[in-house]
Amino acid sequence: MSAKNISIEFKKGYIDSAVSEETLEVRRHIDNLVVSSSSSLSNVSAESNNTKLLLKPTIEEVLFDARADIKVLTSTLSMHLDDAFRKSLFEQVDLIHDPDDWDETDSPINSDAFKSFIRWYILSSPGVKPGYGLSSTGNIIAMWFDNKDKLLIEFFPYDKARWLVSKVVDDEFERASGTTKISRLFDVLAPYSPNDFFWQKE
């Protein structure tokens, strides 16, 4: 068994052993979260018949509400997340919801997909913080880079994920992808040395 495989098994074993009563309590906490989305709709009187009409929220209001929901959800789990992670996450959530760069055909971040990501992050605790993107349907995408190698994980609602890895082997790019449950991400990524992405090399 190579040193790299030993490292992978060590990390996987560490994560498996971390599923303690405290971890289960975190999961129950996330599962029971009910984030009340702030409503941006307002009523106006129709001059013709005095009927109340609902105004369609502006893009700015929709994006503000999406950012606020994610920050509220994350803040309820602040005891499990370090300050540097929360600061980086909030900055990038703001960045990917910038109204000036927003495509109206896209969807803002999906809070259920974000719950899948934050659940995986707390249970896995990768040492290297990811970059973030957003799919057109609002799923959060976490990204790690190691020189020319890259790993992208798109998180879906209800603990599902799609992954794509690209690595340089013998001066050639090798790519692989798949879908799985977040609980099996380390298992399916094991052949691609996930430690190279998730933890700093010594």
Q: Which residues pair with 72 in a beta bridge?
A: none
Distance separating alpha carbons of residues 136 and 144, to the nearest angstrom: 20
Per-residue model confidence as pLDDT tens digits over 64-74: 999 999 999 99
pTM (predicted TM-score): 0.72
- Domains of the chain, by residue range, sit at 3-198
Q: Is the dihedral of CA 130, 132, 137, 138 positive or negative?
A: positive
Collapsed DSSP state (helix, strand, coil) of residue 43: strand
Per-residue model confidence as pLDDT tens digits over 171-197: 889 999 999 999 999 999 999 989 889
* Two tokens, residue 62: 């929709």
Distance separating alpha carbons of residues 26 and 167, to the nearest angstrom: 34
Contact (Cβ atoms closer than 8 angstroms) between residue 123 and residue 159: no
